[in-house]
Amino acid sequence: MTKNLLIVESPAKAKTIEKFLSEDYTVKSSFGHIRDLPKKGLNIDIAHNFEPKYEISSDKKRVVADLKQAARNRQVWLASDEDREGEAIAWHLTQALGLDPKTTKRIVFHEITKPAITDAIAHPRVVDQQLVDAQQARRTLDRLVGYELSPILWKKVRTGLSAGRVQSVAVRLLVEREREIKDFKPVSSYKVTTIFTDKKGHEVPAELTTKLKDAGQTKEWLNKIKAATFTITRVEKKPGRRSPSPPFTTSTLQQEASRRLGFSVRQTMVLAQRLYEAGHITYMRTDSTNLSDIALHAAADYITKTYGGQYSQTRQYKTKNATAQEAHEAIRPTDLKKTTIRGEQKQQKLYQIIWQRTVASQMAAAKVEKTEVTIDISNQSEQFLAKGEILRFDGFLRVIGGKKEDMILPELESGQNLDTKRITATEVFSRPSARYSEATLVRKLEDLGIGRPSTYAPTISTIQSRGYAEKIDIEGTDRQITELTLEHGTITSKQVTVTTGADRAKLVPTPIAEVVTDFLVKHFSNIVDYDFTARVETDFDQIERGKESWQKMIASFYKDFHPLVKKSEDIPRQEVSQAHLLGHDPKNGEPIYARYGRYGPMLQRGETENKDKKPDFAPMPAGQTIESVTLEQALDMFTLPRIVGTTEDGQEIKANIGRYGPYIQVGQTFVSIKPLDPRTITETEARKLFRDKQAQDAAKSIQEFSSGIKVLNGPYGPYVTDGKKNARINAKQNPAKLTEKQAKELLALHKTKIRRHKQSV
């Protein structure tokens, strides 16, 4: 039996590390966390200093038993990741396996390479309780907020919602940005451009340095310059530099992978995790831009040998984030000589941009020569400006790419007159701030000091899975702009249609996000306060440094938080849902509200608190909002569901609007009637749609047995179903001649396969 047991948190990591160790080591995986707070219940003993009540996850009991068996009579080494989460995994392993955390060997490494593993084993330490306490503080605080605040949202808004210290702030950012965009009033102005020519016919593109206010002022200005002369008053040439960006942190990698590769934040982290576990890159959760001395020397050596000494410039970047852990490294390849890797294509692409960014960060700046030419107008105070730029030395652009074509201006000198045939003034509009993408939301959270590298991806995923935000492509809208042209002494005007506002993969808050954000801002302002949330992160850092007790930090938060929870129980649900009273139903006097519901804006007749009679609900009229809908429009919606008539065989036809749009219902059959209106659809129209639906269903149905089992045609061929399970029919079998016994056998066989599959996982 081997003398040592080394435990890591992932099988892939174990497989890579095993290659670097002698036969004296057995490497096993804990498959992530083995202990945590149970999913149900608070499980924080508030009365006894906020003591957490951990349990071994049901799916990890066998893992723990196997590790206990493997640990007998062996020296145990804990090699989980080097951050707080990894330290917590190591500590939980000591608790679950009955190991002494003060004597059990703990090793950390920034990269999975033989030198790094060998060095880590040569310098073991014990579990860092301060790191563990910082993780426990985060876990406890998030559980307290989620457990006490989420039920309030369930009662006051709708079930299934959740609140969180970081996720609620992220949602608030989305909501505030969306409202800023909606409230934005674009202002138009006119941008003036022209192409001058010198005596030799060389072209000089130029733009007026100021924008003109409106069409009237622009026409007046163009009229004035009809007889003007244009003279160069200044030619300035100066050297310029373009410096490379620092190596990647978690946040900047997510942003660049989104911009260049179109990866989501979560996708980037999954791919980076695999690259790390395979030994290709250093640890991918970091907020530091530092590179180790070994990496700096390796980069200088590679760049000098590959491109020449003039391309090498060693740099150590200063991390902007004041709370960043400078002892950590930026994300970089473990071997810079490895310009590409084998494997899955997306991993290759991500590795490529990490390699490029690391090498480029240690290369010389690109050198350019910039030229600016100022051109005066003889009878006006405004000036035109022409710009040119020539790349003199590519530097880091040799690796990173992004070279622009030289904008070369002809040789010009002060006092020289220029000619122009056409001057164009184009109407332009000011734009609101852009909606957040996943990557730019991460950058904003980082700028505010909210969250840490390990929290960005889960936060972005949570706000989407909980229905607070949708990642969508924004369709642009057509806008008419005016274009004025001065040519041959004549001013002409034309209307041009441009598309504005189009964008892709943006995070847009849902109506429920607005309701929840307004509720939290009003009644739990500290939870969604940007400064408060950032200060909490600083508190976690102080705990990690041993300068603050994690229980005291939690107690300080809870004494202010819990009373707000108790107080919020008395808040009327109508207030939370932002119900807008439209008036009263003239037939029964019940109030009519426009408010937010589970799936967005909706109408309500009656009071939610009325125990004797439940309120009625109706969808919002198309194109209307809570603020714009009228009482008359609302009353019209409460005429639904509407009896349209009957089918040919006398079945009642109802028309209504559901979650997925307008429909008719006959018995248990539902038929979409888009784009028809359920309030005006005729019996004839409804009958035809129902007949068409019956024809479709008939074409789909092959057989139906008395037991309820059906043989149907599906998009992938015929299949058998009992309403719960589906089973494909063998190509050699005739579905029309299939017996009930054979159908049951297919379903039974299908279930058996499913069960065996589950057992094998």
- The CA distance from 585 to 744, in Å, is 55
Average pLDDT, rounded, for the chain: 90
Question: What letter would DSSP give residue 212?
Answer: B
pLDDT score, position 724: 82
Q: How many CB atoms lie within 10 A of CB 319?
A: 18
User: Domains in the chain, ordered, with CATH?
Assistant: 4-127 (3.40.50.140), 140-184+435-568 (1.10.460.10), 188-243+367-429 (2.70.20.10), 250-364 (1.10.290.10), 573-637 (no CATH), 642-701 (no CATH), 705-760 (no CATH)
Torsion of CA 167, 142, 149, 446, to 10 degrees: -20
Structure confidence at residue 660 (pLDDT): 78
Mean pLDDT of 85-91: 95
Rounded Cα gap, residues 750 and 743, in angstroms: 11
pLDDT by residue (tens digit) across 148-206?
Answer: 998 888 888 777 788 888 999 999 999 999 999 999 999 999 999 999 999 999 999 99
With vertex at residue 422, the alpha carbon angle to CA 420 and CA 427, rounded to the nearest 5 degrees, is: 130
pLDDT value, residue 757: 34
Q: What number is the average pLDDT over the span 315-322?
A: 75
pTM of the full structure: 0.80
pLDDT value for 497: 93
708: amino acid identity, one letter: G
pLDDT band at 2 (very low <50, low <70, confident <90, very high): confident
Cα 438 versus chain centre, distance: 3
Stretch 25-33: mean pLDDT: 94
- pLDDT at position 320 is 65
User: Which amino acid, 349?
Assistant: K
pLDDT per position as a tens digit, 686-697: 999 999 988 888
Which ranges of 104-166 would DSSP assign to H, the alpha helix? 114-122, 129-156
Backbone angles phi, psi at 369, to 5 degrees: -115, 120
Return the higher-pLDDT residue of 520 and 575: 520
Percent of the chain at pLDDT > 70 equals 97
pLDDT per residue as tens digits for the range 638-686? 888 899 999 999 999 999 988 778 999 999 899 999 889 898 999 999 9
Which stretch of DSSP H or E encloses residue 759? helix 740-760
pLDDT of residue 751: 52
Catalytic option among 54, 283, 311, 663: 283
Q: Are 736 and 703 in contact (CB under 8 A)?
A: yes
* pLDDT exceeds cutoff 50 at 422: yes
Contact 492, 485 (CB under 8 A): yes
Residue 475: the pLDDT is 85
Checking if the pLDDT of 760 tops 50, the result is no
Q: Which residue has the higher pLDDT, 636 or 275?
A: 275
User: pLDDT at position 754, please?
Assistant: 37
Q: At what angle do helices 129-156 and 84-97 cross, to 10 degrees?
A: 100
Looking at residue 538, its pLDDT comes to: 92
Omega within 30 of 0 (cis) for the link into 247: no
CA gap 417, 340 in Å, rounded = 54
Please give the average per-residue pLDDT across 331-336, as a whole number: 96
Residue 283 annotated as catalytic:
yes
**Can you say whether residue 277 is alpha, beta or left, with left for phi > 0 and alpha for psi between -120 and 50 degrees?**
alpha
Decide: 685 and 676 in contact? Cβ < 8 Å.
yes
Structure tokens at 492: 């002409």
**Digit-coded pLDDT (tens) for 477-492:** 889 999 999 999 999 9
- Please give the pLDDT value at position 162: 84
DSSP type of residue 372: E
pLDDT (tens digit per residue) in 249-268: 999 999 999 999 999 999 99
Average pLDDT over residues 511-530: 89
**Continuous segment of H or E residues that includes residue 671:** strand 669-672
Judged by phi (left if over 0) then psi (alpha if -120 to 50, else beta), residue 512 lies in alpha
Q: Dump pLDDT digits (tens) for 438-489.
A: 999 999 999 999 988 888 999 999 999 988 999 999 888 889 999 999 999 9
> What number is the average pLDDT over the span 114-130?
95
CA dist., res. 196 & res. 115, Å (int): 63
What lies within 8 Å, CB to CB, of 456 at 6+ separation is: 250, 251, 254, 265, 442, 445, 446
